[in-house]
């Protein structure tokens, strides 16, 4: 919808939106009841309509940081965008509960009616960034009959205390399950957390697009480039990124091997660290009534334990080898062109589609930033992100567009340093280390092959 919003706001083109869901919101329609954004509401959604009140959380694990919209708020927001922005424009026709079958054809999942469309400009194929959420994915392990097992979505339906909770999955969804249990009074000793891989996490205090967080946000970006410029090895790089506050981990004694760009606040991290029974034996292969079998061993369980599935992989992007150019003959494949920012990426791709005529130039401006999986994927992700930023700096109109766009919280924040010597020193440090960082990261990546 961030893509369609820019098309409507900046052109007179017509759009047909084919949606497998029954209402706007995409995967948010399938999310668990207590889901929230991982980063502030102030730069999520679509360009033309703010999400939330741009306030600070007053309580809870996110206290003092930019508010995080709930899943219900996000779904209501996207419905508002559709009903008050897109449909009244006369440029958008919306087909919910329909499945695209290829070659300009789609069909209703309710009536079976088939439609044939000829796109005068392009087909926008958003399936290159698939999502997997607990309520819709199939676990990769076998589950014995009688095992108490549920997706995270059903956790709020529990009506009697189990013997204990076994959370399966070490990513953000698993963390959300553990945090919800802790928030609702479950003793940390009653939680077993199966963590196939430890993760590096971003610190939410460092992704705040507000002036009072300038030194945390822009300062950490400057420290990140300095760390990248000075690192002598991959391990040294991550040690430096952790030391400067760019990355954090659950257990300082365990070196993470996963990076999904998920975000935790300091309070969330501290709460998760109260869970002592963290199982690091690889992935689950079988859930039995009395035993859980993993890749590297087994642990006991019981029919009275509740097993919570958090093993879905969230956004599933193409591998480095599978990445395709965004702008192709007759087709646009929206993908991330700014790390951590899918909504801004979609909006920027739409603007570039309208503002530029040549697909070669469009693809130069929109190199795909690969979604990270392993820890060392941080390096190519960062390199492509830096390359895009450098290329954009050669386009004054595009630089002004991103500065004015509400989904881009950080350019305006960096620009706010003008006239403040202390802030300017931070910005200058960031720019001074960018090129050395890029050169060193390429060297580290080559030496790691």
3-state SS, one letter per residue, for 176-202:
HHHHHHHHCCCCHHHEEEECCCCEEEE
Q: What is the pLDDT of residue 130?
A: 64
CA proximity to 202, closest of 181, 217, 222? 217
Q: What is the pLDDT of residue 133?
A: 67
pLDDT single digits (tens) 4-26: 999 999 999 999 999 999 999 99
What is the arithmetic mean of pLDDT over 193-222? 96
Residue 151: exposure state from Cβ atoms within 10 A (0-12, 13-18, ≥19)? buried
What is the arithmetic mean of pLDDT over 221-225? 97
Distance of CA 70 to the CA centre of its chain: 15
What confidence category does residue 294 fall into, taking pLDDT thresholds of 50, 70 and 90? very high
CB distance 290 to 166 below 8 Å? no
Q: What is the pLDDT of residue 54?
A: 87
Q: What is the pLDDT of residue 190?
A: 98
**Residue 205: which residues within 8 A CB-CB, separation 6 or more?**
65, 213, 216, 265, 266
Q: Report the alpha-carbon distance of residue 416 to residue 426 in Å, rounded.
A: 12
Q: Report the alpha-carbon distance of residue 81 to residue 49 in Å, rounded.
A: 7
pLDDT single digits (tens) 249-272: 999 999 999 999 999 999 999 999
* Residue 245: DSSP 8-state: T
Q: What is the pLDDT of residue 109?
A: 98
pLDDT single digits (tens) 114-156: 999 999 999 999 987 666 666 677 899 999 999 999 999 999 9
Alpha helices (runs of H) in 116-233, residue ranges in sequence order? 172-183, 214-230
pLDDT single digits (tens) 157-181: 999 999 999 999 999 999 999 999 9
If you compute the radius of gyration of the chain from its CA atoms, what whole number of angstroms results? 23
Domains of the chain: 2-128+319-389 (3.50.50), 130-198+254-316 (3.50.50.60)
């Amino acid at each position: 919808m961030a893509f369609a919003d820019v098309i409507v706001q900046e052109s007179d083109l017509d759009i047909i939106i084919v949606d497998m869901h029954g209402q706007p919101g995409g995967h948010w329609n399938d999310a668990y009841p207590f889901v929230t954004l991982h980063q502030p509401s102030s730069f999520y959604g679509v360009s033309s309509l703010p999400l939330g009140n741009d306030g600070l959380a007053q309580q809870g694990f996110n206290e003092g940081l930019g508010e995080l919209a709930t899943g219900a708020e996000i779904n209501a927001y996207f419905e508002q965008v559709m009903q008050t922005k897109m449909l009244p424009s006369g440029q958008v026709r919306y087909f919910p509960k329909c499945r695209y079958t290829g070659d300009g054809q789609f069909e209703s999942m309710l009536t079976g009616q088939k439609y044939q469309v000829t796109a005068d400009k392009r087909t926008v194929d958003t399936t290159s960034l698939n999502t997997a959420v607990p309520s819709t994915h199939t676990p990769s392990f076998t589950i014995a009959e009688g095992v108490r097992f549920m997706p995270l979505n059903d956790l709020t339906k529990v009506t009697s205390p189990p013997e204990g909770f076994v959370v399966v999955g070490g990513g953000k969804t698993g963390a959300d399950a553990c945090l919800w249990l802790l928030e609702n009074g479950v003793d940390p000793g009653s939680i077993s957390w199966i963590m196939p891989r430890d993760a590096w996490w971003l610190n939410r205090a460092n992704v705040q697009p507000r002036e009072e967080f300038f030194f945390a946000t822009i300062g950490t970006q400057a420290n990140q480039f300095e760390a990248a410029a000075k690192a002598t090895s991959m391990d040294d790089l991550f040690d430096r990124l952790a030391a400067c506050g760019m990355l954090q981990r659950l257990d300082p004694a365990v070196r993470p091997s996963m990076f999904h760009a998920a975000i935790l606040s300091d309070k969330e991290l501290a709460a998760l660290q109260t869970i002592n029974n963290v199982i690091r034996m690889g992935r689950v292969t079988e859930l039995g009534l009395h035993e859980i079998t993993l890749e590297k061993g087994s642990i006991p369980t019981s029919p009275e334990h509740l097993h919570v599935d958090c093993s879905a992989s969230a956004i599933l992007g193409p591998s480095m080898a599978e990445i395709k150019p965004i702008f192709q003959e007759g087709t646009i494949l929206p993908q991330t062109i700014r790390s951590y920012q899918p909504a801004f990426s979609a909006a920027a791709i739409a603007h570039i589609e309208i503002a530029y005529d040549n697909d070669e130039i469009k693809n130069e401006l929109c190199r795909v930033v690969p979604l990270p999986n392993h820890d060392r994927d941080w390096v190519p992700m960062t390199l492509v992100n830096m390359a895009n930023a450098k290329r954009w700096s050669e386009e004054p109109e595009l630089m002004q567009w991103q500065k004015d766009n509400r989904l881009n919280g950080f350019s305006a924040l960096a620009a706010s340093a003008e006239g403040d010597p202390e802030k300017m020193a931070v910005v200058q440090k960031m720019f001074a280390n960018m090129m050395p960082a890029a050169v060193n990261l390429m060297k580290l990546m080559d030496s790691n092959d």
